[in-house]
Chains A and B, each alone.
Chain A
Amino acid sequence: MKLNFDHLQSAHCENGVTRSLLNNIGVHQITEPLAFGIGAGLFFVYIPLLKINNGPVIAFRPMPGLIFKRTCKALGIPVIRKKFGSKEQAELFLNECLTAGHPVGCQVGVYYLTYFPKEYRFHFNAHNLIVYGSEDDKYLISDPVMEHETTLTRYELERVRFAKGALAPNGQIYYPVTGAVVTDERIKKAIINGIEKNVRSMLQPVVPFVGVKGISYTGNKIKKWRDKLGPKQAGLYLAQLVRMQEEIGTGGGGFRYIYAAFLQQAHAYHPVDELLEISNKFTESGDLWRTAAVQAAGIYKGRIGSQDDFNTMGNYLLEIAEIEKKAFTALKKIKWH
């Protein structure tokens, strides 16, 4: 059984799943940047004391599932979402959804994800893909980061849906309910709502390691890494930062560019000139995240590595935090008509 479904490639998995599932129920206006912006997808957190893969825990996105949830909610589209204790029940429900004609989003781990190259298969459980049918022993998969559709066997899909470790998906499955009519007026409101949410999550957290404050907090930490950890370990920490930041279209630079694209598209709904100016600010920030990644690479490749080089690296993050603080403050001040 193969449902009528168009595979679309995206920069980021959850944006992509959101856009594709919405397109599939007839909400064609929602592009990847709109899904990202309405879902308030830009985020930053450095979780102190905790380690992952023996390095720092830095995330550039909100908790998995939030972008989809917020976007659907803002557009007034009801969502079905389930987690499972048993693998059998999880498969049964998936098959029921497919029989009923719903392509579904699944949260999965990438460690056992067979179509990814081995080098990318870490214990990372916040990936998302769409199942849109089955043939023989195989499920038909639309993974938004891949150019083309792919497949997984029953066993393979079960394994990734029940990956273990941090953020274990527990078979999580979700889809938007069909039938909603989304007007331009609704999208206009959703855009404002998404921007306001993102302003809050980046500017107003009370703890120092979240949002724009978190970026400068991390910048200051980085300056101390060389003395605290030794050059080799400090280099590995930076490599981890870059991987969290830039891997598969996500994180630092990539997310800023998607957000900048969102503000341009928002301008088509709200002709407020500030949106275009602020969009340029996010482009600037994205470029600077990439410059910082190049500096980090110099260190983990061992080409540079003095305290000055770590200071330069840390200062890039301080500069980024400043730009983004101004950009979000400007967004906050916009007078919507």
Chain B
Amino acid sequence: MKKEDVPQDLSSLGKITKEVCYATDDSGKYVTELSKGWDIKITALDAAWQDIEGRITAAREKVLKNEASSLLFFMERGLMDISILAGYTGFWKWQIKRHLKPDVFKNLPDKKLQRYAEVFNVSVDDLKNMNVHEA
């Protein structure tokens, strides 16, 4: 890639920092050049987030239909799977699988709910009621 071809499409990262790219100058020698972002990368990230939004919506519906506990909603919202959540909460994976069932979740003591609430940065009440406060 030539230095003048380094893309300059402003990304959300570009608003905070430019990225270093290696590109060639007129004599073919490699030099560094700063880039504000690249449209191709921006849309790849957008596609990933659209998929995530879809997952969150689907999880919310499942919770409302009582097919899953509100844990599923917060898990999707936190981009987590069961093993990541197990890592952060210290629960075993099989425990989390149980807690994803509405009937089991309903009877969990606050002490256990607190562990989930902390990881998701919400209160126990919010966790139970699927409330979110967008930062």
Contacts and interface: CB of A to CB of B under 8 A. Distances in A.
- Do they bind each other? yes
Q: Dominant SS at the A interface?
A: helix
A242 B22 contact: no
Contacts, number: 114
Interface string A136-163: 0000000001111000000000000000
Given A117-B12, A253-B1, A147 B41 contact: no
B79 A53 contact: yes
B32 interface: yes
B51 A119 contact: no
Contacts of A264: 29-30
B20 A249 contact: yes
A138 B24 CA distance: 39
A165 B83 contact: yes
Given A33-B30, A283-B1, A243 B44 contact: yes
B47 interface: yes
Given A11-B32, A260-B30, A283-B1, A240 B48 contact: yes
Interface stretch (A41-49, A187-195, A289-297): A289-297
Contact of B88 (A9, A164, A240): A164
Interface string A8-50: 0111000000000000000000000100000000000000000
B23 interface: yes
B16 to A, nearest CB: 6
B17 A147 contact: yes
Interface in B1-45: 1, 12-13, 15-24, 28-30, 32, 34, 38-41, 43-45
B49 interface: yes
B64 interface: no
Given A117-B13, A248-B19, A257-B22, A123 B43 contact: no
Given A164-B84, A260-B22, A242 B17 contact: no
Contact of B80 (A9, A11, A123, A287): A123
B23 A257 contact: yes
Contacts of B80: 123, 165
A261 B30 contact: yes
B130 to A, nearest CB: 20
A84 interface: no
B49 A286 contact: no
Nearest to B40: A297
Contacts of A33: 22, 30
A273 to B, nearest CB: 14
A122 B44 CA distance: 14
A103 interface: no
Interface string A275-314: 0000010010011001001101100110000000000000
A248 to B, nearest CB: 6
B79 A243 contact: no
A297 B48 contact: no
B41 A257 contact: no
A145 B83 contact: no
A297 to B, nearest CB: 5
A246 interface: yes
B109 interface: no
19 contacts: A117-B13, A119-B13, A120-B45, A145-B19, A145-B20, A146-B17, A147-B17, A148-B17, A168-B87, A239-B43, A239-B47, A242-B44, A247-B45, A249-B20, A254-B21, A261-B22, A261-B30, A264-B30, A300-B43
Identify the 6 closest CB pairs spanning chains A and B, nearest first. Answer: A164-B87, A261-B30, A239-B47, A257-B22, A165-B84, A242-B44
Interface of A: 9-11, 33, 53-54, 111, 115-117, 119-120, 122-123, 145-148, 164-165, 168, 235-236, 239-240, 242-243, 246-249, 253-254, 257-258, 260-261, 264, 280, 283, 286-287, 290, 293-294, 296-297, 300-301
